[in-house]
Structure 1
Amino acid sequence: MNPSRRHWLAGASALAAGARLGGAGLALAAAAPARAATVVLRDDRGAEHRFDATPRRIVSMMPSLTEMVGALGAADRLVGVDRYSNWPAAVQRLPRLGGLDDARLEAIVALQPDVVLASLSARVLDRLDALGLRVLRLRSDGLADVQRSLDTLARLLGDAEAGGRLWRQLEQALAAAAQRVPPGLRGRTVYFELGGGPYAAGSSSFVGELLARLGLSNIVPPALGPFPKLNPEFIVRARPEIVMGLAREQAALAARPGWGALPALRDGRRCGFSSADYELLTRPGPWLGDAADVIARCLEGLAR
């Protein structure tokens, strides 16, 4: 992970404007110039949005979308964010507008945004459509969704090429992290636990696709969806060789019925991530190069 971002997430000074993303050195894009040309965008709900001017007042209701706006150099256009957005540093001073299930609709309307950025699952925000606000809904399950969201936001912000530039550098970061994975761990089966279980990052999720890019084999098949709720017996039967999740939850894994015999726990092949790194790994945003670096670093440690 980028050292300056880790330092900032720990409560230290804000990330400098020239900070760079992890291993591949992904620089933040320059602020996009205003443009008068009409832009027509179709979001992942299938709704078409027409913008006759570049939005100057943006509300983001998803941390990864907030980070994309920041990485595209337009943090100064954000006027409100969800409760979990914490990068770039400037968003700490913005109004907090709730979350997926308890969005503060009146507060959002009062900010008079040109556009509201949201996920497909934020159904409470459907009411904003009836009030005449434009809600751009973007999917965030897999890596292709992340790439498409970057492209869509880059067009929205007036620099259509910026999304592609960011994505190409993220791809370089992912490739560099993959090269660091010890040969002896390639092909090993892995279980990535979310929030203390029983949810997992499946093969079709952006986390699962990161793991695949690093040469690991997910025990959760694509058919179960990106982030399925699992029966604990499923993990016992799958016998993962590596277990990943929050560090503070790792000590209790062996106490679960039947888990003590799992190859991952028996052989000490666990990746316990700090809260900051876990946050990085579970946000489908512009820090995916750093996320891959975090996983590769853990795998290097397991091979020693």
Structure 2
Amino acid sequence: MRNKKALKGKVISLLLVTFLMSLLLVGCGSKNQGDQTAPSTSPEVSAEVTSQPEQTADEAFNVTITDSTGTEITLTKKPERIVSLAPSTTEILCALGLEDKMVGRTKYCNYPESITALPEVGGTSNPNVEAIVDLNPDLVVGATHVSEEVIGKLREVGINVAFLNEQENFEGTYSAIEKVGMLTGTDEKAAEVVAEMKQKVADLEIALQGLNLTELPKVYYATGFGESDYGAGGDTFIGEIIHLAGATNIAQEISGWSISKEQIADGDPDIIIVPSGVNMAADMATTDFYKDLRAVKEGKVYEIDGDSISRQGPRVADALVEMAQKIHPELAK
């Protein structure tokens, strides 16, 4: 009997020890599992995450465009020293907030007025190459009149030259603005400028539709007169502006700018528009042939800012609206 009690006590003791050991093992297992799921804070992992340097804006800049000469222009750094060889590109650069990056201009670049403080490098067709090189530009932008010889000489000495002689219409103007934006890292601002211009053109189109015109007035845009006459032909940029302003261009069938007195007389314009600042309106009123034109007799010779309407830049949308208001005075009310 005593032996049975002793045996029973040993069994109970053994079971108790086994139970306690099981609890201890479970506790250790939970601790190990916790160690495995905890986030690692080892020095090796931290060093690996922070070992890759971030790119700066200039290091990330890499853009290529094809200019009007068919040449690919690639820039791997935003330009800091820009020379403009055309009034239109000067106005584009300034509209994109890049006036402080410009170091040179042509003698015809006069807007905005503050730009006239920059050094001149000559005219638009044959600027002084040495003067340009001395300014140490990292980008030269030109349009329309810059000669191939000048472009070639600048490229020979390693200067990036973008020649943007785009189509003579609004689409060409938008393209020039967008390409300058790409080259200078001001894409977003260029998109804003183009969007604003397009909105002005669209608003004018709606306003003209509201006039319910049954017949379009005949318009002649004159840039020179005397022994020879010059006006905007149908294939010129100003020719497109006349059309968009809700008028018929009497020189629509003319290519370029040369027109004869016979063609002017046959066109019999209702309105003549001339660039301001050259006294053309007053001179026409006292000059043979011109003083007998119906538009001159009726006092319908109007002046418009010649720079803004002839330069394919951001101001040309405003020039379009101005011309439309000259032709259709009711639009200005």
TM-score category (smaller protein): 0.7 to 0.9
- Secondary structure of the residue aligned to 1:286 is coil
Match of 2:258 among 223, 226, 229: 229
Report the Cα distance in structure 2 between the residues aligned to 1:223 and 1:236, rounded to whole angstroms: 14
Question: Does the CA-based 8 Å contact 2:247-2:327 persist in structure 1?
Answer: no
Change in Cα spacing, 1:180 to 1:51, as seen in structure 2 (3 Å) is same
Q: CA deviation at 1:245?
A: 0.1
**Post-superposition CA distance 1:97-143 (Å, at most 9, x none):** 11124412111001111111112431152322222222211115322
- Secondary structure of the residue aligned to 2:60 is coil
Match of 1:241 among 270, 278, 289: 270
Which amino acid in the other structure matches residue 55 of structure 1?
P
**1:283 maps to 2:301:** no
Q: CA deviation at 1:258?
A: 3.5
Number of aligned residues: 267
- Where in structure 2 are the equivalents of 1:113-132 lying within 5 Å? 113-123=137-147, 124-126=149-151, 127-132=153-158
Question: Does the CA-based 8 Å contact 2:108-2:124 persist in structure 1?
Answer: no
Match of 1:202 among 226, 229, 233: 233
Match of 1:137 among 158, 163, 187: 163
- Secondary structure of the residue aligned to 1:240 is coil
**1:299 maps to 2:327:** yes
TM-score (norm 2): 0.72
Q: CA deviation at 1:294?
A: 1.9
Report the Cα distance in structure 2 between the residues aligned to 1:35 and 1:209, rounded to whole angstroms: 42
**Post-superposition CA distance 1:2-31 (Å, at most 9, x none):** xxxxxxxxxxxxxxxxxxxxxxxxxxxxxx
The CA RMSD over aligned residues, in Å, is: 2.6
Change in Cα spacing, 1:281 to 1:186, as seen in structure 2 (3 Å) is farther
**Post-superposition CA distance 1:214-262 (Å, at most 9, x none):** 111112226613xx22222221122112100035111222444443443
Question: Does the CA-based 8 Å contact 1:79-1:94 persist in structure 2?
Answer: yes
Q: Which runs of 5+ in 1 are unaligned?
A: 1-32
Question: Does the CA-based 8 Å contact 2:310-2:316 persist in structure 1?
Answer: no
Match of 2:136 among 97, 112, 120: 112
Q: CA deviation at 1:51?
A: 0.9
Q: Which runs of 5+ in 2 are unaligned?
A: 1-56
The percentage of counterpart residues that share the same residue type is 27
2:186 counterpart residue number:
159
**Larger RCO: 1 or 2 (CA < 8 Å, sep 6+):** 1
215-224 or 108-117, which deviates more:
215-224
Which amino acid in the other structure matches residue 246 of structure 2?
G
Report the Cα distance in structure 2 between the residues aligned to 1:262 and 1:47, rounded to whole angstroms: 48
Report the Cα distance in structure 2 between the residues aligned to 1:120 and 1:281, rounded to whole angstroms: 15
Change in Cα spacing, 1:54 to 1:71, as seen in structure 2 (3 Å) is same
Report the Cα distance in structure 2 between the residues aligned to 1:119 and 1:222, rounded to whole angstroms: 26
Report the Cα distance in structure 2 between the residues aligned to 1:207 and 1:146, rounded to whole angstroms: 12
Change in Cα spacing, 1:150 to 1:268, as seen in structure 2 (3 Å) is same
Greater fraction of residues in helix:
2
1:56 counterpart residue number:
80
2:4 counterpart residue number:
none
Q: CA deviation at 1:186?
A: 5.8
Report the Cα distance in structure 2 between the residues aligned to 1:238 and 1:195, rounded to whole angstroms: 17
**1:36 maps to 2:65:** no
Match of 1:262 among 293, 301, 304: 293
Q: CA deviation at 1:147?
A: 1.0
Question: Does the CA-based 8 Å contact 1:80-1:94 persist in structure 2?
Answer: yes
1:22 counterpart residue number:
none
Which amino acid in the other structure matches residue 233 of structure 1?
E
Q: CA deviation at 1:299?
A: 2.8
